[in-house]
Amino acid sequence: MELRPGLEGVPVAESAISYIDGQRAILAYRGIPVEVLARESCYEETAWLLLKGDLPTQRQLADFDEQLRHHRRLKYKIKDLIKCLPETGHPMKALQAAVAALGMFYPAKDVSNAQTNWESAIRLIAKIPTIVAAFHRLRHGDDAIDPRDDLDHAANFYYMLFEKEPTPAVRKVLDACLILHAEHTMNASTFSGRVTASTLADPYTVVSSAVGTLTGPLHGGANEEVLDMLDEIGSVSNVGPWLDRALAQKRKIMGFGHRVYKVKDPRATVLQELAEHVFAESGKPLRYQIAVELERIATAFLGPKGIYPNVDFYSGIVYAALGIPKDLFTCIFAVSRVAGWLAHWLEQLQNNRIYRPDQIYIGKKDVPYIPLDQRP
């Protein structure tokens, strides 16, 4: 038996949800390239596509959208629970706790019931943005803002965070960010959700497992480090000298490199285009100018090694420019990725076998038990 650390290269499921070609910069959801979806679709439609396998008809999308809007509100007990959490705690932990608690209010134990499963999926996608926004407002001593039924998913999320509607360009970039992060094959949080799903646990437990896995700095979170790095560089003219020093010290350039992509991450390309639209309104922030220069110079050195910007290189800059605080970045990832997690949950249930991998035992054997009073 050969151990493959991190299960690298070991398939753990057959999946028809998303596909990556890391040499050709392709990420496709149900066969549709993600950049096409980011340009043409909206998060609601993309979520349906991931969950159901095909694009919805007009009628299906309208019904789905209405259902999502209908289920955005939180029960007052969930709001009370969120209020009781320490305001200094990380928002991802608040999200995980609240998602787990949802499962006590909306029992969904019978995962063989397709109708209940669909209702749970809608509830989770609809309520997670409300939970994130409520925790964010309450921790600053502000009232949580009720969702607005007249706004779409992205615009309503922005409204619940800031109590104002986004401009069309800001709405579009936020919606596209949600589309771009909605699914990414068998990553750690998706796998953790599938493992939990394989025990036939309810979907709230499945999603809270996945949220917990996403909290780790090796998974969500590199975009925060990109911002720190850009702030450390400080000016466009310092990019060259800073990079020389960083490469000499064998430092990693945050937001560069990917286990799967050996060319520029297609999501980074889309995000950059969208960022340009937003910045056309508000002016290019210094961080963005530094990032563009860093990409230009660093690519000359790192490109030949297959190291290019990944999705995190521009996402943090965009979020920060929208006024979103750094510790909410991973929550936005979860607001989006819940669609992918739920698609994998439903797929796992179609052909389920409980995950029970093996191990290579390297501990002691045949150790005698020495009574306590005879031990040295």
Catalytic residue positions, numbered: 258, 312
Nearest approach in angstroms of CB 254 to ligand COA is 5
Residue 303 burial (CB < 10 Å; 0-12/13-18/19+)? Answer: middle
Ramachandran angles phi, psi of 101, nearest 5°? -65, -35
Return the residues of window 274-303 that contact ligand COA according to CB under 6 A.
302
The DSSP bridge partners found for residue 29 are: 18, 32
**Is residue 335 involved in binding ligand COA (CB under 6 A)?**
no
Q: Could you tell me which stretch among 61-69, 98-106, 235-243, 256-264 binds ligand COA (CB under 6 A)?
A: 256-264
Name residue, tokens 């961080």. Answer: 287
**CA atoms within 13 Å, Cβ hemisphere of 244:** 4
**Is residue 256 involved in binding ligand COA (CB under 6 A)?**
yes
Nearest approach in angstroms of CB 119 to ligand COA is 33
Ramachandran angles phi, psi of 51, nearest 5°? -75, -40
Among 25, 51, 243, 253, binds ligand COA (CB under 6 A): 253
**Most distant pair of Cα atoms in the chain: their distance:** 78
Q: By beta-carbon distance, which residue lies closest to ligand COA?
A: 257
Nearest approach in angstroms of CB 202 to ligand COA is 30
Which residue number, 152 or 225, has a Cβ lying nearer to ligand COA? 225
Which residue number, 190 or 310, has a Cβ lying nearer to ligand COA? 310
**CA-CA distance, 119 to 103, in Å (whole number)?**
12
**Is residue 254 involved in binding ligand COA (CB under 6 A)?**
yes
Which residue number, 120 or 310, has a Cβ lying nearer to ligand COA? 310
**CA-CA distance, 277 to 172, in Å (whole number)?**
9
**Is residue 138 involved in binding ligand COA (CB under 6 A)?**
no
Q: Which amino acid is at 58?
A: Q
Nearest approach in angstroms of CB 300 to ligand COA is 13
Q: Could you tell me which stretch among 47-55, 87-95, 257-265, 319-327 binds ligand COA (CB under 6 A)?
A: 257-265
Nearest approach in angstroms of CB 311 to ligand COA is 6
**CA-CA distance, 325 to 285, in Å (whole number)?**
16
**CA-CA distance, 119 to 151, in Å (whole number)?**
21
Return the residues of window 207-226 that contact ligand COA according to CB under 6 A.
222
**CA-CA distance, 37 to 282, in Å (whole number)?**
25
Name residue, tokens 């005698």. Answer: 368
**CA-CA distance, 100 to 105, in Å (whole number)?**
10
**Is residue 147 involved in binding ligand COA (CB under 6 A)?**
no
**CA-CA distance, 335 to 160, in Å (whole number)?**
13
Nearest approach in angstroms of CB 214 to ligand COA is 12
**Is residue 337 involved in binding ligand COA (CB under 6 A)?**
no
From residue 301 to residue 320, the character string flagging contacts with ligand COA as x (rule: CB under 6 A) and all else as - is -x--x-x--xxx--------
Among 73, 83, 90, 252, binds ligand COA (CB under 6 A): 252
**CA-CA distance, 300 to 307, in Å (whole number)?**
10
**Is residue 255 involved in binding ligand COA (CB under 6 A)?**
yes
**Is residue 271 involved in binding ligand COA (CB under 6 A)?**
no
Q: Could you tell me which stretch among 253-261, 329-337, 349-357, 358-366 binds ligand COA (CB under 6 A)?
A: 253-261
**CA-CA distance, 314 to 102, in Å (whole number)?**
33
Pairing of strands 18-21, 26-29: antiparallel
Which residue number, 91 or 255, has a Cβ lying nearer to ligand COA? 255
Chain residues in the site for ligand COA (CB under 6 A): 222, 252-259, 302, 305, 307, 310-312
